[in-house]
Amino acid sequence: MSTPAAKSEAKAGHTFRRFKDGDQEWRSNQERIFAGDESDKCPTYVHKTPPCQASCPSGEDIRGWLNIVRGVEKPPKGTAMQEYAFRRSTDANPFPSMMGRVCPAPCQTGCNRNKVEDTVGINAVEQYIGDYALKQGYTFEAGPDSGKRVAIIGGGPAGLSAAYQLRRKGHGVTLFDDHAELGGMAKYGVPGYRLPRTHLDGEINRIIGMGVEVRPNTRVGRDLKLEDLQAQFDAVLIAIGCKSGRPLPVPGADAPNVISGVAFLEAFNQGRLKAVAGRVVVIGGGDTSVDVVSVARRLGYVEDAVETERPENVVLGHTAHDVSTLAARQGADVMLTSMQPIEEMNAAKHEIEDAQREGVKIEGNLLPKKVIVDEKSGRAVALRVIEVQWEKGKFSEKPGTERDFEADLVVVAIGQAGDLAGMEALDNGKGLIAADKFYQLPNHPGLFACGDIIRPHLLTTVIGQGSIAADSIDRYLNRQEMPKRPKVDVHHFNLLDKLREAHLEPAKYEASPENGPRPIDQGLRGTSQAGKSVGGFAIHNYEDRSAAEVCKSDELFLGHFAYQPRIQRSEIGPSAEEVLGHFEERMVGFDDKQAVDEAKRCMSCGMCFECDNCVIYCPQTAVKRTPKSEATMGRYVYTDYDLCIGCHICADVCPTGYIKMGMGDH
């Protein structure tokens, strides 16, 4: 509505108004009723990213491989469902067996199925896919040789992820690691009962089998200079992780039996540490700390152990445990303290519950104040803590609540830092490396970094960073500009690729007076003309917004989905009495039927799963199935706009939010 000032400024002769104030209101209820079943809007089919995928730091096409497992998206002739799902999954992440076991599954937190009854068991289906692939011996293929060579420093998940993606692009890769075996924190930080080494090694060897050259026991910065690698290779990627534990900033923390959680787990995973002490206190709250306490309960302790058998001496590499003494092991008294309340600890909830069932005592809201040291021996004998209370994300100490926990071994797991010895010039002052959003190092052409050395986070996070870093390196090697990363930066379902796979690729766009000028982007485009379907240059009423939009639960027709309880993986979880010496894998994977049934719980947010609701409920028979000769995933139905009256029913009954009322808007 115009303001009085605006009216006074209007020139004479410019006062004609097509509509008057109030014309936007219905004049009668009769008009409202008879116009309510039609509009100028007709349906279009809009592909969006599902929230599970948007929540996945690796950017996997989760909806895609779930739809393959459930049978909606059909594999090419002669390809097993499991292999097709494996190929789709590993476009983004080459470690489905590993991640199905140890990933805390942020994808499941974002799952829209939570609005119905419970999340889809995404990680359980992923484990099924990964384990099946290992049993069948599926391999990866490298791309055509580009003639370019890339050095990767660090053979953990980040470096291996980048090596995999670079080999797919045809670049030569030489991988340098300071350990005898590859795997990084996945091998030396995660216990084998959570991640069996046969599965981890199988997935690592599959990447090495693509033609990756490995230089083990080689520390860049000590055995080789970074500058020499830069001279020998076309690009260098630093993915050394953060293998140094952050020290506890309290008096007495330098006692010999105060050790880091990272060093503790490495000694255990290398087979050197076979027993702990009688009373173990662990400080933390994240996954590393929970792994430490769980391992400590399994290892137990030997009473009256000699000095050389003390766990800190083994962890520091001064000695190794004598296996002959281990028959006398007893269960250790193990405690975990966290500054956060137990329900807000960073560790995965089920890992916390497992640890408690196995006999670990866990207390939250405790701040370490001092390590009590024996004056004669110089060893830690207790940890002094004080209770804290939280308000608006900040804590305050509660006076008079100090307590001492007796301890023979104190393990600190409060964070990790990088070791940049020999590469100090790259240190950003925090023991880490600063890189841009493309994982390039500013002012260092050809030098890239990714993984925990950028910012310590989840295994799935560093795997995703390795993929993006490989893409950036590929562009650098090909002298291409770095593009703007999409808002939703993940591996998207690509309808054009699917059409090519099904031999239904649209014709190449040719400029003409009818078609208009040749567009810069020769990718997939939509049209309102039904005749310009798959046989033409465009796809009828299709729009891809997946790079910019996430399909939210309020876009779905949740009433379509019946209550269907989640299928849980069974666990072989030892009790507190059984845990000593129990190193078998806890998680029992799905069989074929369980995997398919659980995948069927996926709501395919943002993508048609061929339920036929729109076809059945359209009162004008305007929505039709795409002819089988032209149909594939994402092209199941189309709308005849000559028949459509814009009643919105198809959009209302679409369970997945794939149908949007938009055609006709100007």
The answer to the question of residue 152 being in a domain is: yes
pLDDT in tens, 144-158: 999 999 999 999 999
Contacts 24+ apart (CB under 8 A), 68-71: 69/125, 69/128, 69/129, 69/595, 69/596, 69/599, 70/596, 70/599, 70/600, 70/602, 71/596
Task: Examine the domain organization and report whether 343 and 436 are in the same domain.
Answer: no
Query: What is the predicted pLDDT for the residue at 13?
Result: 46
The residue among 383, 155, 389, 139 whose CA lies nearest residue 280 is 383
Q: What's the whole-number mean pLDDT along residues 634-640?
A: 91
- The answer on 403 and 285 residing in a single domain is yes
The predicted-structure confidence for 249-270, as pLDDT tens digits, reads as follows: 999 999 999 999 999 999 999 9
CA distances from 112 to 68, 69, 474, 655 (A): 19, 19, 35, 12
Same domain, 147 and 267: no
**Lowest-pLDDT range of 113-122, 352-361, 456-465, 513-522:** 513-522
Q: Please say whether the dihedral angle defined by the alpha carbons of residues 343, 349, 352 and 354, taken in this order, is positive or negative.
A: positive
Q: Which residue has the tokens 């049978």?
A: 71
Mean pLDDT computed over every residue of the chain:
89
Least confident of 1-15, 202-216, 359-373: 1-15
Average pLDDT over residues 559-563: 93
Residue 251 covered by a domain: yes
Two structure tokens written together for 217: 């026991």
Residue range(s) defining the domain that contains residue 365 = 246-415
Give the residue from 483, 500, 521 where a domain finishes: 483
Asked if 264 and 406 sit in the same domain, the reply is: yes
Phi, psi of 595 (to 5 degrees): -65, -45
pLDDT of residue 25 exceeding 90, the answer is: no
Which is more confidently placed, 7 or 619? 619
Task: Find the farthest-apart pair of alpha carbons in the chain and give their distance in angstroms, rounded.
Answer: 105
Tell me the per-residue pLDDT of 589-605, one tens digit each, with 9 for 90 and over.
999 999 999 999 999 99
Residue 361 within a domain: yes
Mean pLDDT of 233-258: 95
Whether residue 586 is predicted with pLDDT greater than 70 in this model: the reply is yes
Copy the structure tokens of residue 318: 């001064």
What's the confidence (pLDDT) of residue 5? Answer: 44
Q: Is the pLDDT of residue 37 over 70?
A: no
Token representation of residue 56:
């996945």
Spatial separation of the C-alpha atoms in residues 477 and 485, rounded to whole Å? 18
Q: Is residue 547 part of a domain?
A: no
Residue 540, SS3 per DSSP: strand
Whether residue 437 sits in one domain with residue 426: yes
**HSE, side-chain direction, 13 A CA sphere, residue 21:** 3
For residues 22-51, give the mean pLDDT: 72
Task: Write the CB contacts of 232 (distance below 8 Å, at least 6 apart in sequence).
Answer: 149, 151
CB 143 within 8 A of CB 157: no
Q: How far apart are the first and last CA of the chain?
A: 22
Lowest mean pLDDT: which of 220-234, 473-487, 522-536? 522-536
Of 27-31, 342-346, 437-441, 645-649, the one with minimum mean pLDDT is: 27-31
* Cross-strand pairs, 220: 224
Q: Domain boundary at 391, 415, 439, which?
A: 415
d(CA 547, CA 565): 32
Residue 88 has pLDDT above 90, yes or no: yes
Please state, in angstroms and as integers, the Cα–Cα distance from residue 268 to each residue in 86, 191, 272, 294, 298, following that order: 32, 8, 6, 12, 11
Q: Report whether pLDDT(232) > 80.
A: yes
Are 264 and 216 part of one and the same domain? no
Give the contacts of 349 (CB within 8 A, at least 6 positions apart). none
Average of per-residue pLDDT across 513-536: 53
**Side-chain half-sphere exposure of 320, counting CA atoms within 13 A:** 8
168 shares its domain with 212: yes
Q: Which residues pair with 587 in a beta bridge?
A: 571
Residues 423-460 pLDDT 10s = 999 999 989 999 999 999 999 999 999 999 999 999 99
Q: Evaluate whether residue 32 is within a structural domain.
A: no
* Same structural domain, 408 and 427: no
The torsion defined by the Cα of 612, 616, 619 and 622, in degrees rounded to 10, comes to 40
Among residues 463, 483, 503, which one ends one of the domains?
A: 483
Question: Given strand 172-176, what is the order of strands in its sheet?
Answer: 213-215, 172-176, 149-153, 235-238, 447-449
Assigned domain for 396 exists? yes
Mean pLDDT of 29-45: 66
Q: How many CB atoms lie within 10 A of CB 244?
A: 16
| Residue 260: per-residue pLDDT | 95
**Tokens 């926990």 found at:** 405
175 and 260 both lie in a single domain: no
- At residue 610's C-alpha, the angle toward residues 604 and 611, to 5°, is 90
Structure tokens at 533: 């379907």
Q: What angle do CA 236, 239, 243 make, to 5 degrees?
A: 145
**Alpha-carbon distance values, 54 to 47, 123, 459 (Å):** 14, 15, 16
Report the alpha-carbon distance of residue 37 to residue 45 in Å, rounded.
20
What CATH number is associated with residue 340? 3.50.50.60
CB–CB of 71/101 below 8 Å?
no
pTM of the model: 0.88
In a domain, 255, yes or no: yes
Q: How much is the pLDDT for 30?
A: 61
Rounded-to-integer distance, Cα 35 and Cα 30, Å: 9
Report pLDDT digits (tens) over 478-506: 999 998 999 999 999 999 899 889 888 87
**pLDDT score at 630:** 87
What's the confidence (pLDDT) of residue 164?
98
* 3-state DSSP of 542-568: EEECCCCCECCHHHCCHHHCCCCCCCC
3-state secondary structure of 572: coil
Number of domains in the chain: 2
Are 283 and 424 part of one and the same domain? no
Residue 520 has pLDDT above 90, yes or no: no
Tell me if residue 424 falls in helix, strand or coil.
helix
Comparing CA positions, the residue from 550, 634, 631, 602 lying closest to residue 65 is: 602
pLDDT digits (tens, 9 = 90+) for 111-128: 999 999 999 999 999 999
Task: Please indicate, yes or no, whether residues 150 and 256 belong to a single structural domain of this protein.
Answer: no
pLDDT of 167: 98
* Helix 122-136 vs helix 81-89: crossing angle, to nearest 10: 110
Average pLDDT over residues 519-541: 56
Q: Of 90, 187, 157, which is closest to residue 465 (Cα–Cα)?
A: 157
Residue 440 is which amino acid?
Q
Of 482, 450, 473, 479, the closest CA to residue 149 belongs to 473
Within this chain, do residues 327 and 436 fall inside the same structural domain, yes or no?
no
In a domain, 637, yes or no: no
